[in-house]
Amino acid sequence: MSKPRKILLAGASDYLRGLVDGAADEFPDVELEVFPSAQPQALNGKAVACDVLVVEVDGSDLTESALRVFNVTPQRKVIAAARNADPEDVRRMFRAGAADVLTSPYSQEALRAAFAEIFRQSQQEEASGRVVSIIGASGGAGVTTVALNLAAMAGSLQTKRRSPARTNAAVLDLDLQFGDADLALNLEPRSTVIDLLQAEQRFDGHFLEGAMTEHSSGLKLLAAPSKVVPMDALSPAFASKIVAQSAKLHPYTFVDLPHSVTDWSLAILRESSLLVLVAPPTVQGAVGARRLLQAMEEAHVSTPVLFVLNKVAGMVDAFEKPARISKTLNRAVDAVLTLDPTAGRAFDRGVLLAEAFPKAKITRELRALASKIEPAFSKAESGQHVLTGVAA
């Protein structure tokens, strides 16, 4: 089932809305959403999630703040419908990042042509790789261990026919304040997310490749900053651009997200093929999972979810806690991972579980979880619900 393309119309008059509505009708599988404000800070993640953003602006009042609206999407996909605009105003809008500028009086034909061009470019640039976001329902949920080992295992599942010892997966450690995936892999990265933030205007796929550090397994890591960085240092548009570029370069991209919800993390979740939600089997874990799922629902994020309980101790808990938490959340538990000291030992040694403890129970459980990723993609694309039952 193909995902509908979305046109977001912001700050527009009823007259322009009628023209956009008529132009959009010419394209199959297109949805039109109307938003009252064209202010960049108000649009935020909504702009990232759309395929085309149409904003109506006054060319005679183009402040620097107003011009920022043309850079709220990861690619050039903003169309300006400009009143009172002279040639210099039009040039300023193009320089600010507009994909097209239509001056009044507007026409339905011009809008249709602008939509067609952006849709064509988006189809050519569409990423082929899968994006799996991983987020914890609370601190200490073990997200980084799960992310790194799933990335290595999922990548090897796809490449085992050709090269069983290597993986083509990438991990983006976007926990800006406490990310430690580099320590878990015993790597000393020369570049981190900081380098990307400092080079946002010239960032592309080649820059991302150069900023990533390769592990002996073939896993590629974009490391988190080595110091605390404000959570708002990353914008929704740039976060989406980083993930999109990684998806073009790798068949799998795993995004290690902080367990706090931000505009940019919601933007990444919207564009992910799958979310792995990791929670400890505690009251805090269940409450955190419920809050996160509610936040996604309120933000209209419909990404399929694999719900994982991690650090489950003992056989009794392995049967009772998944059922209890599933009933509390009215959501199935898809996998249960054992509280296993080998996970901590592997992390401290900077090695993957499959390398250090290939026969450990936690390693077998992670392989079983990795084997569910491809079926989850297939179910999501066919319109089925990913969650099917409570795992024992």
Q: What is the pLDDT of residue 165?
A: 41
Does 53 score more than 70 pLDDT? yes
Does 228 score more than 60 pLDDT? yes
pLDDT band at residue 385, thresholds of 50, 70 and 90?
Answer: very low
Q: What is the pLDDT of residue 156?
A: 63
Q: What is the pLDDT of residue 134?
A: 97
Q: What is the pLDDT of residues 262-284, one digit of tens each?
A: 989 999 998 899 999 999 999 99
How many CA within 13 A on the CB side of residue 361?
12
Q: Which residues are CB-contacts of 235 (< 8 A; sequence separation ≥ 6)?
A: 72, 263, 264
For residue 25, give Cα distances in angstroms to 28, 130, 237, 310: 7, 30, 27, 47
pTM beyond cutoff 0.85: no
pLDDT band at residue 300, thresholds of 50, 70 and 90?
Answer: confident
Does 46 score more than 80 pLDDT? no
Q: What is the pLDDT of residue 64?
A: 86
Instruction: Average the pLDDT over 90-117 and give the result.
Output: 92
pLDDT band at residue 388, thresholds of 50, 70 and 90?
Answer: very low
Q: What is the pLDDT of residues 345-380, one digit of tens each?
A: 999 999 999 998 999 999 999 999 999 988 888 776
> At 125, which amino acid appears?
E
Instruction: Average the pLDDT over 34-38 and give the result.
Output: 88
pLDDT band at residue 101, thresholds of 50, 70 and 90?
Answer: very high
Instruction: Average the pLDDT over 208-218 and give the result.
Output: 92
Does 124 score more than 80 pLDDT? no
pLDDT band at residue 65, thresholds of 50, 70 and 90?
Answer: confident
Instruction: Average the pLDDT over 209-213 and give the result.
Output: 94
Q: What is the pLDDT of residue 387?
A: 42
pLDDT band at residue 4, thresholds of 50, 70 and 90?
Answer: confident
pLDDT band at residue 155, thresholds of 50, 70 and 90?
Answer: low
Share the mean pLDDT of the chain: 87
pLDDT band at residue 160, thresholds of 50, 70 and 90?
Answer: very low
Separation CA 333–CA 243 (nearest Å): 27
16-20, 77-81, 315-319, 355-359: segment of lowest average pLDDT: 315-319
Separation CA 346–CA 99 (nearest Å): 48
Assigned token pair, 168: 């083509």
Q: What is the pLDDT of residue 158?
A: 56
Q: For the stretch 30-61, what's the b/e string if a residue is b when 16 or more beta carbons lie within 10 angstroms of its beta carbon?
A: bebeebeebbbeebbbbbbbbbbbbbbbebee
Percentage of the chain with pLDDT > 90? 55
Percentage of the chain with pLDDT > 70? 91
Q: What is the pLDDT of residue 382?
A: 61
Separation CA 89–CA 79 (nearest Å): 14
The Cα angle at residue 54 between residues 50 and 60, in degrees rounded to 5: 145
Does 141 score more than 90 pLDDT? no
Domains, in order of start, for the chain:
5-125 (3.40.50.2300), 130-381 (3.40.50.300)
